[in-house]
Amino acid sequence: MQDLSVSQLAAGLDRGEFSSEELTRHFLHRMQAHRELNAFITEMEEPAILQARRADQRIKEKKHGPLTGIPLAHKDIFCMDGTKTSCGSRMLDNFVAPYDATVVRKLEQAGCVVLGKTNMDEFAMGSSNENSYFGPVKNPWNPGHVPGGSSGGSAAAVAARLVPLATGTDTGGSIRQPAAFCGITGLKPTYGRVSRYGMIAYASSLDQAGPLAKSAHDCAYLLQAMAGFDARDSTCMDEPVPAYTQVLDEPLQGRVIGIPDEYFGTGLRPEVKDIMARAIAWAEGQGCIVQPIRLPNTELAIPAYYVIATAECSSNLSRFDGIRFGHRCQAPKDLHDLYRRSRSEGFGTEVKRRIMIGTYALSTGYYDAYYLKAQQIRRLISTDFSKAFETVDFILGPTAPEPAFKIGEKTDDPVTMYLSDIYTISVNLAGLPAVSVPCGMHEGLPVGMQLIGNYLTEGRLLNFAHQYQLATDWHRQCPPGCMQGSHGE
């Protein structure tokens, strides 16, 4: 049951082969049987059963849609009314959200059954999930390795078949990199495609929510339900949401794919490069026209990102003051002491480091040298992409320079950790959509390819990914430790 696609699950519900309650219990059981992965911060067994019963009622009354009764997990960055929403932080360990994020509300209206809230790097700051106050998530393919981050809990949960669908957010690669590390499909939509209302802010000009699932086809269903205009997010696009599942079967013949030199340089592991070569050869076999392109400012994307994102985070995280919500220190001696100790106790090391960098970059005398300079580099990076998209439909390359690294391998050196996002970060700076698709394995760990498109081309990205998945079975691979069927089979 856990290997079925969303459309197969929906068909099974429709035909009465199983109920949403049975489906939900099956996945809840798997979630509980794989707690060693630490993929969830909050399990929601009771509310899930109630939601499933409501879904079954809707199905019976024929008032259902394609996602009604399908289990789902939310990254613990999305506020959910009445549910703990921790953002992976001690700061919000005691925070029960008083309202729903728009994404949460939309998926509830679609009839999804929420099984729980997934683990993540604290405030979405990290590439390995080692920065969570609730402990690291294990990669289901090898528990000694990281699942990627920051949406590591969502990616691990989908890869281990603990849930068919999960939401994530991507500020510098936080959907695509964990999707690649865990062997699943993850899409970062165009900036503004999905509402950010109720999604705890890290770097607001970069943050974007998106779907994680086993396949592009499943992602299409989830994105369809997540996307759309929301008056409560002033940066949300007022553009119609296309029927993503309807465009997946278009032939790829004649699509022009750009291969950026800069994504195949010295930092890329040779084994990953070979796997990419096979994916590119497949695209040529489909009649795609493959041509080299240049994205000359790629290397500068990471430094520019770490100025812009930290500047925005130092401002966004100033709301955590120990007064209105979140952690408050014991016996503050005055207001200043209350702020300083509440924040120091509530935030972890990496979050504090980023707040410090951002505060420095925005401080008097340094603003032009750091923040303004980074914004100018951002313009150059965005221009590189718009020039490339004058001649190509897609840009294809690896999602990450290597497969999932070992837990603890990069924690001592922040800069080395930051470099693992080299191929994903520039996409956020430009605000473009991109999808990561599993395309090979190396030493028992998955490798992902990243396909980047022009603004609002999510449908075309999913079309390419779906065609690739019709021809390959990398997305069907299941981690060996998670294959056993369980209760309900």
Partner 1 sequence: MSISLEEILSISHLARLHIDEEQAGQYAADLSKILAWVQQMNQVDTRGVVPMAHPLDVVQRLREDEVTETDQREKFQTVAPRTDRGLYLVPKVIE
Contact residues for partner 1 (CB under 8 A)?
A: 94-96, 98, 191-192, 205, 231, 234-235, 237, 297, 299-300, 303-304, 306-307, 314, 318, 321-326, 328, 332-341, 343-344, 347, 352-353, 355-357, 359-360, 363, 370, 372-380, 382, 414-415, 429-431
Answer for the pair 72, 114: CB distance below 8 angstroms, yes or no. Answer: yes
Least distance between partner 1 and beta carbon 317 (Å): 9
Count of beta carbons in the 10 Å neighbourhood of residue 324: 8
Least distance between partner 1 and beta carbon 300 (Å): 6
| 415 vs 471, beta carbon nearer partner 1 | 415
Least distance between partner 1 and beta carbon 179 (Å): 21
117 is catalytic: no
| 58 vs 353, beta carbon nearer partner 1 | 353
Distance separating the N- and C-terminal Cα atoms of the chain:
7
Answer for the pair 34, 25: CB distance below 8 angstroms, yes or no. Answer: no
Helix (H, G, I), strand (E, B) or coil at 399: coil
Catalytic-role residue among 150, 154, 215, 420: 150
DSSP track, 200-247: PPSSTTT-EEEEEESSHHHHHHHHHHHBS--TTSTTS---PPP-GGGS
DSSP assignment letter at 11: H
Any idea of the CA torsion for 262, 265, 268, 269, to the nearest 10 degrees?
Answer: 150
Catalytic-role residue among 75, 106, 117, 214: 75
Sign of CA dihedral 455, 221, 185, 158: positive
Least distance between partner 1 and beta carbon 384 (Å): 12
Catalytic-role residue among 174, 314, 420, 426: 174
DSSP assignment letter at 83: S
Work out the widest C-alpha separation in the chain, in whole angstroms: 70
Alpha carbon of 243 to those of 107, 240, 408, 411, 462: distances in Å?
16, 10, 42, 42, 11
Least distance between partner 1 and beta carbon 320 (Å): 9
Distance (Å, whole) CA 212 – CA 112: 14
Distance (Å, whole) CA 10 – CA 70: 7
150 is catalytic: yes
Least distance between partner 1 and beta carbon 325 (Å): 4
Least distance between partner 1 and beta carbon 436 (Å): 20
DSSP track, 138-206: PBTTBTTB---SSSHHHHHHHHTTS-SEEEEEESSSTTHHHHHHHT-EEEEPPTTSB--TTBPPSSTTT
Give the catalytic positions in this structure: 75, 150, 174
